[in-house]
Amino acid sequence: MFKREMMFGIAGLLFFIAGESYADTANQVENIHLVLGGSAIGLRNATKQDVEITFNVAANEILKVNGIELNIVIYPTTENLYSAFDKGEINGFFGTPIEFLAREDQLSKDLMGVVYKYEQIKQAFVVIARKEVGFSNLNDLKNKRLTLARYQDTEMIYLNTLLLKNHMPEIPVYFSDRFDVKNSNTAIMDVFFGKSDVTVVRESDFKTAVELNPQIGKQLIVVDKSVPYIYTVGAVSKKIPADQIARVFSIIKDFSNTAKGKSLLSIVQVNAVTSISMEDTQSLRDLLKEYNALKKLNSPRLTSTDKEKIKRHAQ
């Protein structure tokens, strides 16, 4: 069982542990039936089969003790996830904050997030490169090889923004090759072993890799570090009554503070599951605003006056 739990990834574990909480047998309450969706990128390191089988079969039996029936549906793309939500086929979803922001006007403001190892609820990204690249500024990474995990949509926006701020083209043009890998650990090892020259990962991922293999810290350098960003968001539709949302979230948070909950979370280097607010998403909103403004500045159709206006708007 524990071997399978290690494969769920953070988004999957977020909802799996809800089923292990304590049942309220003294006060019978109305059953809650939720259908939650996730996309391939929102799953992070998990697999579709592991998440759906575990939640829809094993975890659901435990959740029913608490009066909650939970079904998980995993979609191949973010667009498929949005379509299912818009049609009312699912009550909410979990995934990247960028996925959340695209539908936030239809989602409850009661949100869930995770506290990762070494960090607070929000985490910084680090751009890491091999020392032998001879980095002194971003120009030294031109035509180098980039590795990114397939689910790193926020990291991609951050790196593109960093390049545009330094008057450089975006990822497809700036780097000679881009390798898509399964997870951030693979991305780090690609750079370490010389298959790639640069990657972007959560700071905690890099710290963990160095902790496990000190040679990584000796051979790789941090090129740039971002401000902290929310990494995983869980939310449900505004149509779900507020008291039901509060009850489900309470079960999740309570169990994450138990010994068993902490033990399970530690497998994926997560310290806790907790509530987050809209304010916690502000740094990402600022990043997207800056990226979109910089992207417009690179348009050949803009006059110098237009570009000055965009610069003022981005500040």
Query: For residue 203, what is the domain's CATH number?
Result: 3.40.190.10
Helices (H), ranges, 131-281: 153-165, 171-174, 184-192, 203-212, 214-219, 242-256, 259-267
How far is CA 292 from each of CA 82, 101, 177, rounded to the nearest angstrom?
Answer: 22, 15, 24
CB 275, CB 281: distance < 8 Å: no
Nearest to 234 by CA among 150, 143, 109, 132: 109
Are 243 and 199 in the same domain?
A: no
pLDDT at 15: 43
Token look-up 């008057």 returns 167
Answer with the residue of higher pLDDT: 7 or 212.
212
How sure is the predictor about 2, in pLDDT bands with cuts at 50, 70 and 90? very low
> Does residue 94 have a pLDDT over 90?
no
Token look-up 């990204």 returns 125
How far is CA 104 from each of CA 41, 55, 110, 256, rounded to the nearest angstrom?
Answer: 18, 25, 11, 25
Are 29 and 169 in the same domain?
A: no
68, containing H or E segment: strand 68-75
Name the DSSP letter for residue 87: T
Are 165 and 20 in the same domain?
A: no
pLDDT at 13: 42
Q: Which of 21-25, 112-116, 276-280, 299-303 has the lowest mean pLDDT?
A: 21-25
Are 107 and 240 in the same domain?
A: yes
Answer with the residue of higher pLDDT: 5 or 140.
140
Are 133 and 100 in the same domain?
A: no
Are 196 and 164 in the same domain?
A: yes
Answer with the residue of higher pLDDT: 12 or 224.
224
**How many helices and strands, by DSSP H and E, does the chain display?**
15, 11
Both tokens assigned to 12: 């999957």
* Domain residue limits at 180: 125-225
Nearest to 208 by CA among 271, 252, 257, 261: 271
Are 150 and 17 in the same domain?
A: no
Are 239 and 106 in the same domain?
A: yes
How sure is the predictor about 263, in pLDDT bands with cuts at 50, 70 and 90? low
> Does residue 151 have a pLDDT over 80?
no
Give CA angle at 230 (274, 241), nearest 5°: 50
Nearest to 194 by CA among 129, 135, 139: 129
> Does residue 5 have a pLDDT over 60?
no
Name the DSSP letter for residue 239: T
pLDDT at 3: 41
Q: Sign of the CA dihedral 8, 14, 16, 17?
A: positive
CA distance 84 to 203: 33
Are 114 and 238 in the same domain?
A: yes
274, containing H or E segment: strand 270-276
Are 61 and 163 in the same domain?
A: no
Are 60 and 19 in the same domain?
A: yes
Residues 6+ apart with CB under 8 A from 202: 116, 119, 123, 124, 125, 126, 184, 231
Nearest to 168 by CA among 137, 198, 196: 137
Tally of domains within the chain: 3
How sure is the predictor about 211, in pLDDT bands with cuts at 50, 70 and 90? very high
Average pLDDT over residues 164-171: 91
Average pLDDT, the chain: 79
Burial 232-265 (b: 16+ CB within 10 A, else e): bbbbbbeebeeebbebbbebbbebbeeeebeebb
Are 27 and 74 in the same domain?
A: yes
> Does residue 104 have a pLDDT over 80?
yes
